[in-house]
Amino acid sequence: MSADDWRDWARFAEQDWKLAVSLLRRKQPVAAHVAFMAQQSAEKCFKAMLRSRQVEFPKTHDLRALNSLCEQANIWTGFRSSDLLFLTDCAVSVRYPGTELTLDEARQAVEIARTVRAFARRFLGV
């Protein structure tokens, strides 16, 4: 695997996506884990698109920052900032005590990630 190859980023995004969906389908899904994997998938989708344009990016979970880098590279996603902020919060805060997610919020995270994934797959031609 190469951190420079967008295909590797896309492949890892797809693995995270499959895990998020699988976790959501469980008899008793753990909302925080579902949301975390959804965020990870979306994050890697952004990074795949950026690498496809040879754009460097910082080590970050901030989807709004990654979306901004996409726009600078003329990748116009049209994602809502509020959705990206919600999903970004699923990267860290939900994984520690003090922040509890509902199953509906986990489903929301999956739906946002689904939108990012669909856009990225069309953009990347996969």
CATH number at residue 111: 1.20.120.330
pLDDT band at 103 (very low <50, low <70, confident <90, very high): very high
Q: What is the pLDDT of residues 87-96, one digit of tens each?
A: 999 998 877 7
Q: Kindly report whether the global pTM for this prediction surpasses the value 0.85.
A: yes
Which of 30, 17, 28 shows the shortest CA–CA distance to 101? 30
State residue 95's pLDDT score. Answer: 78
Residue 108 lies in a domain: yes
> Which residues in 6-24 are b (16+ Cβ under 10 Å) and which e?
bebbbebbbebbebbbebb
Residue 1 lies in a domain: no
Residue 91 lies in a domain: yes
Residue 10 lies in a domain: yes
Residue 116 lies in a domain: yes
Which range of residues forms the domain containing residue 28? Answer: 6-124
State residue 92's pLDDT score. Answer: 87
Asked if 48 and 124 count as a contact pair (C-beta separation under 8 A), the reply is: yes
Residue carrying the six token digits 């809502």: 80
Across the range 54-66, mean pLDDT stands at 96
| Structural domains counted in the chain | 1
Decide if pLDDT at 75 tops 90.
yes
Residue 92 lies in a domain: yes
Residue 97 lies in a domain: yes
Distances from the Cα of 25 to the Cα of 21, 32, 105, 108, 111, angstroms: 6, 14, 15, 14, 14
> d(Cα 99, Cα 27) in Å, to the nearest integer?
22
> d(Cα 19, Cα 113) in Å, to the nearest integer?
12
* Cα torsion 34, 40, 42, 48: sign: negative
